Amino acid sequence: MPHSRTDNSTHGVLLMSLAAFLWVLHDTISKWVVDDYSIYQVLLLRTIFSLLPIAIVLRREGGMIRLRSSKVWICLGRGCLAVACFMLFLAALPLMPLTDIFAIVMSAPLLISALSALLLKEAVGFRRWIAVLIGFSAVLVMVRPGGQIDRTAALLVMGSVITYALAMILTRRLGTTESAGAMTFYTALVFLAVGLIAAPFTWIPPTPIGLLLMAATGLLAGSAQYCLTEAFRIAPPSVVAPFEYTSLVWAMLFGFLVWGDVPTKLVLASAAVIIASGIYVLHDEKTIKRRNRASPVSFPPGS
């Protein structure tokens, strides 16, 4: 069923900012529970509890009729990318501080901007490509040989970033016909299938506190996934993606309050370069839009 995609940048930015906070809170709890339970068990129980906010969203969007689609397999493919992203991220959580992880995750908006040009044919000028390259160079500085960041964990996070960026590009493409609730639902189906297949082999009976924490991750994930999907559906990726940088602030706060983690100067400096590159990308996007609106359409003489 067609679902009109708009370019409501303001609404998209607000949704992205909320999603960033919810995801960091979700990741903080996940980092806690993966010390005691397998990633498959966390994935399964999280998904089960995430179905509640997803069901609420679907009802608001018109009910189960919103799930009718000729692109179900593409939606499920998007779900596979999301599962890969989540599992790679969970695998990295026990290996490095939350702030360090999110310093690398901050490269996602830059990758999304690059992929928007390559896959969605959105306008990305030479200066924006330079900003993207500078941002990725900062990531390489953080994970350089002999650096303080665990390279195995860094590779896991980068794999998560790549699959996430591809999923968000696909979200933007599907946004012309699919609702955010439908895309979130099909993603949850893939999560549920993977969890049901793998979790029984690593199952540990959860304590009441463990079950409560995993339930919280599910409710947070369902809500955050909807906000994220809707943000990319209604606004250009190159506009909303940079506002994921607010998650680094939350990651630093939660990392310090829960584990006493204090980021190194190198991580902070690299993160600052990455964020500055992303802000420039956003500025360049707005400049191009203003220029396009101000420039009248002209026709060659004699046409």
Q: Check residue 103 and give its pLDDT.
A: 85
Is pLDDT of 124 > 60? yes
> How far apart are the C-alpha atoms of 68 and 78, rounded to whole Å?
16
Q: Check residue 58 and give its pLDDT.
A: 82
Angle, helices 98-105 vs 9-33, to 10°: value is 140
36 φ/ψ angles, rounded to the nearest 5 degrees: -115, -20
Domain membership of residue 299 (yes or no) is no
Question: Which two tokens mark 136?
Answer: 């990725």
Dihedral (Cα; 57, 20, 8, 277), 10-degree rounding: -160
Cβ-based burial of 197 (10 A; exposed 0-12, middle 13-18, buried ≥19)? exposed
Number of DSSP helices (H) and strands (E) in the chain, helices first: 12, 0
Strands (E) located in the chain = none
Domain membership of residue 60 (yes or no) is yes
Is pLDDT of 151 > 60? yes
Domain membership of residue 206 (yes or no) is yes
Query: What is the per-residue pLDDT across 24-67, written as a single tens digit (0 to 9) for each?
Result: 999 999 998 998 999 999 999 999 999 888 888 888 777 777 77
Domain membership of residue 105 (yes or no) is yes
Domain membership of residue 54 (yes or no) is yes
Neighbours of 101 (CB within 10 A): 25
The residue among 169 and 288 whose pLDDT is bigger is 169
Domain membership of residue 154 (yes or no) is yes
Q: How many domains in the chain?
A: 1
**pLDDT confidence bin for 197, thresholds 50/70/90:** very high
Q: Check residue 302 and give its pLDDT.
A: 42
- The pLDDT mean for the chain works out to 83
Q: Which residues, at least 6 apart from 102, have a Cβ–Cβ distance to it below 8 Å?
A: 24, 247, 248, 251, 252
Please state, in angstroms and as integers, the Cα–Cα distance from residue 38 to each residue in 78, 151, 182, 210, 240, following that order.
24, 22, 28, 12, 33
208 φ/ψ angles, rounded to the nearest 5 degrees: -55, -40
Q: Which residues, at least 6 apart from 94, have a Cβ–Cβ distance to it below 8 Å?
A: 31, 34, 35
Domain membership of residue 193 (yes or no) is yes
Query: What is the per-residue pLDDT across 87-114, written as a single tens digit (0 to 9) for each?
Result: 999 999 998 888 888 888 888 878 888 8
Under 8 Å between Cβ of 178 and 68: no
Domain membership of residue 294 (yes or no) is no
Is pLDDT of 230 > 70? yes
Please state, in angstroms and as integers, the Cα–Cα distance from residue 262 to each residue in 104, 181, 192, 267, 275, following that order.
16, 38, 36, 10, 19
Is pLDDT of 201 > 80? yes
Entry pTM: 0.78
Under 8 Å between Cβ of 135 and 107: yes
Question: Which two tokens mark 40?
Answer: 């498959």
**Residue 1 DSSP one-character state:** -
Domain residues for 266?
9-289
Angle, helices 265-294 vs 98-105, to 10°: value is 30
At residue 149, the 3 state secondary structure works out as coil
Is pLDDT of 82 > 80? yes
Under 8 Å between Cβ of 92 and 160: yes
Q: Check residue 298 and give its pLDDT.
A: 43
Q: Check residue 1 and give its pLDDT.
A: 47
Q: Which residues, at least 6 apart from 74, have a Cβ–Cβ distance to it below 8 Å?
A: 170, 174
Query: What is the per-residue pLDDT across 270-282, written as a single tens digit (0 to 9) for each?
Result: 888 888 887 777 6
The residue among 168 and 67 whose pLDDT is bigger is 168
**Residue 245 DSSP one-character state:** G
Amino acid of residue 101 = I
The residue among 215 and 54 whose pLDDT is bigger is 215
